[in-house]
Structures are given as structure tokens and as C-alpha cells.
């Protein structure tokens, strides 16, 4: 039997000790400690780890942390939305996003050419700059071959970037496939459409890439899910595990409620009713802002994995 304990600040408190202390506080602190332990268990037991996240997390400063996750070997497959791809490319070329306010005057932002995502602003200039870069990149891809799956295309783009903090760059360098099933759901989709008007034989094969993600694992492999947020990214990961016998480990981090019946708010228990997660799976759900919860849980896990020599490309 475990009991709550009073949390006491101590001088030189590090992240690992903080998260360990969370394990005795209760509520979401307790779940966050369980999340950190689950990540360690996935890695130690050799699970293939699927990391899914939504584009707003790349809008934030988590973008470089995701790239570091890839470099350290903490995920094997990534599934995300097209905004993540666009904004990773923007930042790889030096674009900066502005920290602002949730309660800003949005009409004034519109007049200044600033587009708000929560309390972060992306300028229209960022998007016009991306448009020019994408057309050049797409022409290079077209000259290499006429038909691409999305994951092939994203790997090739990643190889063209030179930014250690880029998700695409680190994924290409470390052979971690990135799947983006809803490639048309954003600015990049529109520019793919425009490019195809001038190059009608250019093909982006979504169905073939669907096959690639479905066959990225098997019934025999241990499978772990880290789903940050929900939507199309989470759906493709849990569909993959469903088809291949269910996940052995699952970590959901979300702010969504299960009361609406949405996939984003669906719990790990609900996933078991579909067979997406095995009945006996280790599963944790943490409710809260991923920009806070994920770095804490993962850094604590990294500290333990570092001590056990289970980090790829780690240079102490």
C-alpha cells in the first residue's frame, strides 16, 4: 500500500528527483511519475515505440526536444500532422515565432500579418517564405523521380536540411520514418496541389504509405505508444497496433475530455475495448498541457536510461 507524502523543496533539486517526488503527491503528479516509469519500461523491454503528436506542439519549443528524442533513440516511428512538417522546415531555415498572449486583440494581429496559435504568433511572412522554399524543394524531388510516398518524401526533405534541432533532419539521419497521413490538411497540401498543376505526372501516394505504416510492425513485436494529443496522428498509431495484435504499452497525454466521445479524449481503457491496446497492457493517461507534462516525464526517464546505457548517440 502506498501513501501520499508531503512534497518538500530541497536545494539543487533535479528533474528526476522532482518527478520521483511527484509519485507520492497524488492526482496528475502521480500519473506523471507513472508515465516516466512506463517510458523506461518500454525502452528496457525493447518495444518498438510509436510517437504521435499534433502540429501545435511543433509550433512551441518542443520541436527541438522531439528532434533530440529521435537522436537519443527514444522513438522508432513518428506520426504527425502537416503543420508539424511546415513549421519544422520554417524553423530549420531560421524563422522565429513570437511569444504573445492568449488574450491578444486578434483583429490587430490580422492587420499586422500575425497568425495566432494560442499565445504564439506565426507571421504571414513565415508562410510566404515557406512557399518559395517548398516550390524549390518539390522541383528537386520531381527531378529525382515522379512518384513518392509521403514518408519517402519527408525523408528526402530532411536530408536537405542542416539543423540538429530539426525533426525531419534527425529522423532522416537516424532512419526513423515520419508518417503524415493528412498531408493536404495545411499550407503544404495547397502547395503540392499548385505544383501538380504544372507537373501533372507528379504523384504523392497516400495509400502506399498507409500500407507502410500498417506493416511497420507485427504481432510478434512488443509495441509501445506515446500519443501526445489526438486526432489523425493518434488514430493511425492505434489502428496500426490494432491490426497487429494490440499495444503492450500505451501513454496518452492530452487536455481533451472523454465525455465528448472524441478520439483525442478517448482513454487507454476505451482503446482496450477495440483491441488497440492489449487487456494486460501497461497504460497511463496524463491530463494536462504536453508542453509541461512531456518534458518532465521524459527527462526523468532519460536520466535513468542514461545511467543504464540505453541512450543512442549520447555524449556525456
Active site residues: 276
**CA atoms of 167 and 149, how far apart (whole Å):** 18
Cell numbers for 215, please give them: 506493416
3-state SS class at 110: helix
Residue identified by cell 506520426 is: 79
Phi and psi at residue 166, in whole multiples of 5°? -90, 130
Measure the CA–CA gap between 131 and 95, rounded to whole angstroms: 13
* Burial environment of residue 4 by CB neighbours within 10 A (0 to 12, 13 to 18, 19 or more): exposed
Rounded to whole angstroms, what are the CA distances from 196 to 181, 187, 202, 291?
19, 14, 6, 37
The alpha carbon of residue 228 and the mean position of all alpha carbons in its chain are separated, in whole angstroms, by 6
Question: In angstroms, rounded to a whole number, what is the distance separating the alpha carbons of residues 190 and 178?
Answer: 20
In 3D space, the residue among 114, 85, 110 whose CA is nearest the CA of residue 99 turns out to be 114
Residue 275, class by beta-carbon neighbours within 10 Å (0-12 exposed, 13-18 middle, 19+ buried)? Answer: middle
- Strand 147-149 to strand 277-287: parallel, antiparallel, or no bridges (unpaired)? unpaired
Reduced to 3 states (helix: H, G, I; strand: E, B; else coil), residue 250 is: strand
Cα–Cα dist 90/157, whole Å? 12
Rg (CA), the chain: 20
225: left (phi over 0), alpha (psi -120 to 50) or beta: beta
Amino acid at each position: 500500500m502506498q501513501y501520499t507524502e508531503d512534497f518538500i523543496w530541497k536545494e539543487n533539486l533535479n528533474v528526476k528527483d522532482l518527478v520521483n517526488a511527484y509519485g507520492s503527491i497524488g492526482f496528475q503528479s502521480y500519473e506523471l511519475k507513472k508515465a516516466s516509469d512506463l517510458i523506461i519500461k518500454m525502452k528496457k523491454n525493447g518495444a518498438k515505440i510509436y510517437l504521435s503528436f499534433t502540429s501545435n506542439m511543433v509550433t512551441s519549443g518542443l520541436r527541438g526536444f522531439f528532434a533530440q528524442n529521435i537522436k537519443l533513440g527514444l522513438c522508432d516511428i513518428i506520426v504527425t500532422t502537416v503543420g508539424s512538417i511546415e513549421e519544422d522546415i520554417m524553423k530549420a531555415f531560421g524563422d522565429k515565432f513570437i511569444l504573445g498572449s492568449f488574450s491578444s486583440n486578434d483583429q490587430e494581429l490580422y492587420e499586422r500579418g500575425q497568425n495566432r496559435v494560442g499565445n504564439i504568433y506565426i507571421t504571414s511572412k513565415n508562410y510566404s517564405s515557406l512557399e518559395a522554399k517548398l516550390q524549390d524543394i518539390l522541383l528537386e524531388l520531381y527531378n529525382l523521380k515522379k512518384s513518392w510516398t509521403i514518408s519517402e518524401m519527408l525523408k528526402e526533405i530532411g536530408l536537405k536540411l542542416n539543423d540538429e534541432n530539426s525533426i525531419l533532419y534527425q529522423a532522416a539521419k537516424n532512419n526513423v520514418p515520419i508518417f503524415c497521413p493528412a498531408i493536404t490538411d495545411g499550407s503544404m497540401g495547397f502547395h503540392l496541389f499548385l505544383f501538380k498543376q504544372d507537373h501533372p505526372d507528379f504523384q504523392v501516394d497516400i495509400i502506399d504509405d498507409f500500407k507502410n505504416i500498417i506493416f511497420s510492425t507485427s504481432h510478434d513485436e512488443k509495441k509501445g505508444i506515446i500519443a501526445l494529443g489526438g486526432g489523425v496522428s493518434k488514430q493511425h498509431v492505434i489502428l496500426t497496433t490494432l491490426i497487429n495484435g494490440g499495444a503492450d504499452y500505451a501513454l496518452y497525454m492530452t487536455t481533451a475530455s472523454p465525455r465528448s466521445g472524441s478520439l483525442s479524449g478517448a482513454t487507454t481503457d476505451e482503446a482496450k475495448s477495440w483491441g488497440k491496446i492489449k487487456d494486460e497492457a501497461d497504460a497511463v493517461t496524463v491530463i494536462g498541457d504536453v508542453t509541461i507534462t512531456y518534458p518532465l516525464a521524459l527527462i526523468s526517464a532519460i536520466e535513468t536510461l542514461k545511467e543504464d546505457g540505453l541512450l543512442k548517440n549520447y555524449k556525456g
